[in-house]
Amino acid sequence: MTTKISQEEMAQQRGFMEKVAEINSKGSPPVAHVHTFGCQQNVSDGEKIKGMLAQMGYGFSDTPDGADIVIFNTCAVRENAEDRVFGNLGALKHEKRRNPDMIIGVCGCMVQQEHITRKIKQSFPHVDLVFGTNSLHMLPQLLYEQLTERKRKFFIPEGDGVIAEGVPVRRESRLKVSVPIMYGCNNFCSYCIVPYVRGRERSRELLDIVSEVKRAISDGAREILLLGQNVNSYGKELGTSFSELLREINAIDGEFRICYMSSHPKDFTRELIDTIAECEKVTRHFHLPVQSGSDRILKLMNRRYGREDYFGIIDYIREKVPDAALTSDIIVGFPGETYEDFCETLSLVERVKFDSLYTFIYSPRKGTKAAEMPDPVSADEKGKWFRELLEVQGRIGENAYNRYVGRTFRVLCEGDGRTQSSLLTGKTPQDVIVDFEGDRSLIGQFVNVKIEKAFNWALIGKIIN
Ligand code: 5AD
Ligand code: SF4
């Protein structure tokens, strides 16, 4: 069962926050190191962890050296993400020996898997606290118990997921603000661990989201990133929709940009594309993960669309939003994929002409359907296909940004330049990086930038009035 955490329970956690703050007020201010691995959803959870810790009196450091508490907020999407966490955890052993009072906590997607918690229990005895994605809001209580009882604790309640409103947030940026709109995923793509570690789809109330966005904008936010594992199915259980949410947010006063992630092509309807075309604040960047160009593999992946459906969506986007930028995710080497299937992916890439691609070699995830499928192709062979895909996309993407030269875009000045630190940087409405000359006092404002030059990963422009 999915549950919204009651106000009483949230008040209880605020009580624990006060108790921990009281303990912390006695000595010199304690320091926390929070390391987040993985996607934007996890980064957003990391902001909540830091928000709670800040209210409990913690300052923050970029390294675990000398910290009073270290929290690893983990990702399970591919094996190398998990390997990195274990590597970092191993390295903490020495630090803990030097500083036995240090509390080491691990949370996030990885620890929702039994074989992982077993491994932590057995091989990482210096880890004090492990808590699941459903108990993030209980960090104050768990931390209070650690400080007063000093007992090793693994707290991973069962259930399909919770929604906890009112958790304090310490945002990484004032200008660019992430707002979760839904949690979990019901799609069960056969390769993906997310539905197992993040629970069932559940949407936040539209009014809760809109008031958070309004508050962020009046606090100076100029880019709102709406987050969910599958934002296109937002609001189904509440009788609303992602289109309705976009229209509500687009109608909020002020100049700001609306971005969103992640999308699933099966729910990317014409109505949604029409909405985006009409909402001038919504990004002109469409990130639509296709994963494969072969109908046979898409079926095995349980994606619930075929390549022709995908072309239909892309063609409609191009018709309604002619200056759209298109990007995608692709998995190479799914179990049973043949070179012929892979060539279908290449032909899809050639046909769509993405601006850029995020490419991954398939990584088996324990407990998923795909992990049980026969996978005869060698890692070497998959590596070859992977490089071939990069080459094809490299050729397609090389001159993709030339089409922006000579055009003028409204750009938010975000900070120091990415090509040269003497310049300022921002992004076009298509989410393409653009650097331009300007005074640092412009940071946080929108300006008109005329594009003069294109590299294959960024643009150079000039402010015009
Ligand atoms: N192996 C490789 N890539 C994966 N992704 C998700 N699960 C796996 C996996 N088991 C990729 C998909 C997804 C992106 C976030 O990560 O392409 O869109
Ligand atoms: Fe990684 Fe997925 Fe968890 Fe994000 S939701 S941290 S991508 S496993």
Domain borders along the chain are 3-162, 173-283, 404-464
Residue pLDDT, tens place only, 57-66: 999 999 999 9
Say if 3-162 and 173-283 have the same CATH topology. Answer: no
- Whole-model pTM: value is 0.95
CA-to-CA distance for 126 and 129, rounded, in angstroms?
Answer: 9
Token match 């605020």: residue?
Answer: 14
Residue 456 has pLDDT above 90, yes or no: no
**Exposed e or buried b for every residue in 364-379, given b needs 16+ CB within 10 A?**
ebeebbbbeeebebee
Q: What is the pLDDT of residue 353?
A: 96
pLDDT confidence bin for 399, thresholds 50/70/90: confident
Q: What is the pLDDT of residue 420?
A: 87
Q: Calculate how far, in angstroms, residue 39's C-alpha sits from the geometric centre of ligand 2.
A: 5
Domain covering 404-464, topology = OB fold (Dihydrolipoamide Acetyltransferase, E2P) (2.40.50)
CA 429 to chain centre: 20
- Please report the atom of ligand 1 found closest to the CA of residue 329: 17
Residue 352 has pLDDT above 70, yes or no: yes
Residue pLDDT, tens place only, 80-115: 999 999 999 999 999 999 999 999 999 999 999 999
Residue pLDDT, tens place only, 225-239: 999 999 999 999 999
Residue 31 has pLDDT above 90, yes or no: yes
CA dihedral 319, 324, 329, 330 (to 10 degrees): 50
- Written as six digits, the tokens of 164 are 């906890």
Residue 2 has pLDDT above 70, yes or no: no
Q: Calculate how far, in angstroms, residue 330's C-alpha sits from the geometric centre of ligand 1.
A: 8
Q: What is the pLDDT of residue 27?
A: 87
Q: What is the pLDDT of residue 419?
A: 85
Task: State the average pLDDT over residues 136-147.
Answer: 98
Residue nearest to atom 7 of ligand 2 (CA): 39
| End-to-end Cα separation, the chain, in angstroms | 55
Token match 């036995």: residue?
Answer: 100
Q: What is the pLDDT of residue 421?
A: 84
Q: Calculate how far, in angstroms, residue 112's C-alpha sits from the geometric centre of ligand 2.
A: 11
Q: What is the CATH code for 173-283?
A: 3.30.750.210
Task: State the average pLDDT over residues 273-282.
Answer: 98
Q: What is the CATH code for 3-162?
A: 3.40.50.12160
Mean pLDDT of the chain: 96
- Written as six digits, the tokens of 167 are 């958790």
Q: Would you say the CB of residue 192 lies under 6 angstroms from ligand 1?
A: yes
Residue 1 has pLDDT above 80, yes or no: no
pLDDT confidence bin for 465, thresholds 50/70/90: confident
